[in-house]
Structure 1
Amino acid sequence: MTAEKERLRRQALDWLASLSPQDRRAGDDALFRRFLSLPQTQAAQVLLLYCGMGTEPDTLRLLPPLFSAGKAVCLPRCLPGNQMEARLVQKDSQLVRHPYGMLEPGLDCPVIPAEQIDLALIPGLAFDRSGGRLGRGGGYYDRWLTGFSGITIALCRDGLLLDTIPRLPHDVGVKLVITETSLYGPSALEQGKSGA
């Protein structure tokens, strides 16, 4: 199964590398419109986002509309042992560059326990229609999500929505997968909103 995940990771990265900056920007625009219009996003008071890097959606663009809507927004900070924590950021918070390349909150930003967060936006290279997630292999989110009971949402480009992603026992999926054109996952099926 590990070899299959590596094959899917390479396939996803190759597909992402083929996108033009204009394609990525247009895809981001569609994903962000759908995310911000979700009832779950509008109802959430405290959200965890991530800082998209490289070919990932440029999720920092979501901060201004969420701040304008009066939301409290957290970003992840990596810890030793492939652990992470959520820290609250403000409009004027200075983000610092992690050695892996992503931006994260500084130590001056307060830690917010997982149980105080209503909604978490979870990154991934690819997803499937049932909420299965293909991460980058570090396990940071799988570990953090074991203590999280709120709603989990993923932004997935249409071209990276797969039929099935193999799951190991420790792999944690998401409740909703948003693509540029549809909504998938167990929660979407319950609401009769599947993109099928």
Structure 2
Amino acid sequence: MVDATDNKAQLRGRLRAARAAIGPSERGRSDEAIRRQVLAMGDWGRSDVVYAYLSLKDEVDTRALVSDALRAGKRVALPRCTSTQRELAWHYVSSLDGLVPGRFGILEPDPALHEPASAAGAVRSLALVPGLTFDDEGFRLGYGGGYYDGFLSRFEGVSVGLCRSSLRVESLAGMGCLEPHDVPVDLVVEA
């Protein structure tokens, strides 16, 4: 019998290869279409705070959305991966300047320079959530650390998965890739 962990590892490998094979012009078109959809959402317009991730390599680009949020006067919070609890610690930023490489080489807010932001009680907020794929129920396959599942279990705002259409799957449960701790996003924006 194959367990969800084995299935997830196999699917992660296939999805990483498929994502890396998407050319730069196709990525750019897809990312801009996703950006336009997010900006048109009523939940985006109503949000006071945007919890965002900073995209890496071939992930859906979020830097333009972070800039859009800052220009619109929204507070923007970026995560920092804690080394001991496998949790995301969020901090408000006013620009993308002055970020420092974190535990996984991801640019993060320096906790000594950036005000902490709590995900609990953040009702008029929107979270942009990364993933290798999302399914029709909003479940995601991430990178295996469980950081975002912990965040989503406490987040009270609207969570939005960002996904390229070519990487979307119908059902992670049907593929044997769901575990009890997995938490879905409220909606998925894809292009």
| TM-score after normalising by structure 1 | 0.88
Q: Which amino acid aligns with 1:175?
A: D
Match of 1:155 among 145, 162, 174: 162
Q: Which residue of 1 aligns with 2:87?
A: 83
Deviation (angstroms), 1:116: 4.5
Deviation (angstroms), 1:115: 2.4
Q: Which residue of 1 aligns with 2:32?
A: 29
Q: Relative contact order (alpha carbons < 8 A, sep ≥ 6): 1 or 2 greater?
A: 2
Match of 1:109 among 106, 110, 114: 114
Residues 87 and 150 of structure 2 are in contact (CA less than 8 Å); yes or no, is this contact kept in structure 1? yes
1:170 equivalent in alignment to 2:170: no
Residues 46 and 116 of structure 1 are in contact (CA less than 8 Å); yes or no, is this contact kept in structure 2? no
What's the Cα RMSD here? Answer: 1.3
Structure 1 gap ranges (5+): 181-196
Structure 2 gap ranges (5+): none
- In 2, Cα distance between equivalents of 1:66 and 1:144: 21
After TM superposition, the structure 1 stretch with the greater mean CA deviation from structure 2, 123-132 or 76-85, is 76-85
Structure 2 residue matching 1:131: 3-state secondary structure: coil
Match of 2:148 among 135, 141, 154: 141
Q: Which amino acid aligns with 2:117?
A: I
Q: Which amino acid aligns with 2:158?
A: I
Runs of 4+ in 1 over 6 A off after TM superposition: none
Residues 52 and 76 of structure 2 are in contact (CA less than 8 Å); yes or no, is this contact kept in structure 1? yes
Deviation (angstroms), 1:146: 2.1
Q: Which residue of 2 aligns with 1:189?
A: none
Identity of aligned residues (%): 36
Deviation (angstroms), 1:99: 3.7
Taking structure 1 as reference, are residues 92 and 153 closer, same or farther at Cα in structure 2, changes over 3 Å only? closer
| TM-score after normalising by structure 2 | 0.90
Taking structure 1 as reference, are residues 95 and 132 closer, same or farther at Cα in structure 2, changes over 3 Å only? same
